[in-house]
Every structure is written in structure tokens, then in C-alpha cells.
Amino acid sequence: MFKGSVGLTALVSVLFSFNVSHAKEFPVQARLFAGNSKVDPKNVNEVIEAQGLKKIDSVSRYGVEITYPAMKYLDVGVRYTKILGDVEENPASSATDYSAKVDQDALLLLARVPLYRNDVVRFDGFAGVGGTNTKLKVRTASQDGEFTKSAGEGWAASPYTAVGGSLSIGYKKFYFVVEGGIENNKVDGFDRSGSASASIDTLDLSGSYFSVGIMFNGISGSIK
């Protein structure tokens, strides 16, 4: 199960548990990041633009990632990302306050392969697979409803994959990180509430993304 706060709380709990002393210790990496994704959800945009809203062409993203070395040249772990989008009327009007809002929780199981490392610079490539729970709210003159695709008490409702690479610059335990990648993130089969338009059946947030963040390297993790 992961809904926004649940997924983030679970990862933070894992992070803090690394400080507990156990029989076997190993180095762990923790990353905090924020960024932007370029998207073009054609089905949604066709509907909301026709109803007087701006099109959705980007979404913001922020989250946390934790990885540990499974092998000498392979790190594995998990990433939680909150993906948010918000567009208003075209032109904007405070009198009506019409809008479309995307709220998505994404969980990714990933593997990172270090391509170059020294004391100051690190470069790696990664690939991951996971899932999302998604909510889209649309309020216009002709509709006021919500589209949801959630697993409820399950793990995730829609498939989600990502590939990319990151460059880290720093020293010892602290690094500044820039990352770029491509995501496959398509949601369909919505549950509708309110006066949600039947014309919206797919939200495609696939596309390229860019993020910046910080990495805490060599945190002491342990297992029994």
C-alpha cells in the first residue's frame, strides 16, 4: 500500500532504522530531490482546452530515494515520488476559479549501475519498475468531478517505469545531484465521481524529466 503520506513515511522510517546497531552493517545512499517533467496528456488536454482551461504541459515532482549496494557494481533500492500538476483558466479568472489538478503517488523499485566514481564526481545509470496511484480533479463550467485510479489497500493501480542517469558532485558523505530520465507513466480505467466527463479516459504523464537534489552517501545501514 502507498498513498502519499504512507509511502513517504515508510521510506523515512526505513532511513532512520539504519542507525540501529545490528550484526551486519553496510553503506546506504539517501537522496532528496525536486524537479519537473515535460508531459503531453493529449486526451485530457483536448477536453480541458475545449472547456476553457490551459493545457497540461508539465508537472512538478519531489521525493526521496534509498539505495544500498547489492553487488560491487550494482545498487538497488526504492524511490517515492509525489507528482503534481495544476492548470487554470485561459485567461485566468478569480471569479470562477476553474482548474485541473493532478495528484499522483509513484513508487519505483530501481537498480543503479555506477559508471564512474571518484572522491568528488559520481555518474550512474538506472532503470526501475513500479506503480502509481492517481487523482485528477477537473472543474470547469461544464463539469466538476474527480477521476481516480487507486489500488486502495493494495500496492499500486497503474504500471510505471523509468530509465535515466545522474551526475553527483561533492565529497565524502554529501553530494549535489542532477538527474535526467524518461518515464512511462500512463493511467486509464478511472473511477469517476461528481460530474466527471466521460470523454476523459486516459491520463498519459509519460515523458522526460529533470531533477536536482542532495545525496547523503555512506549512511550506516544494517541487517540482522
Q: For residue range 19-67, list pLDDT tens digits in order.
A: 434 445 667 899 999 999 999 999 999 999 999 999 999 999 999 999 9
pLDDT: which is higher, 82 or 154: 82
Which pLDDT score, from 0 to 100, does residue 92 have?
A: 84
> Which of these, 104, 24, 107, lies nearest to 66 by C-alpha position?
107
**pTM beyond 0.95, yes or no:** no
- CA dist 108 and 71 (Å) reads 19
Cell of 83: 507528482
Decide if pLDDT at 6 tops 80.
no
pLDDT tens digits, residue range 187-212?
A: 999 999 999 999 999 999 999 999 99
Domains, the chain, ordered by start: 4-16+24-220 (2.40.160.20)
Decide if pLDDT at 15 tops 50.
no
Cell of 185: 507513466
- Determine how β-strand 191-195 pairs with β-strand 24-38: unpaired
DSSP for 74-90, written as a single string:
EEEEEEEEEEEEEEEBS
Return the minimum-mean-pLDDT range out of 74-83, 115-124, 147-156, 161-170.
147-156
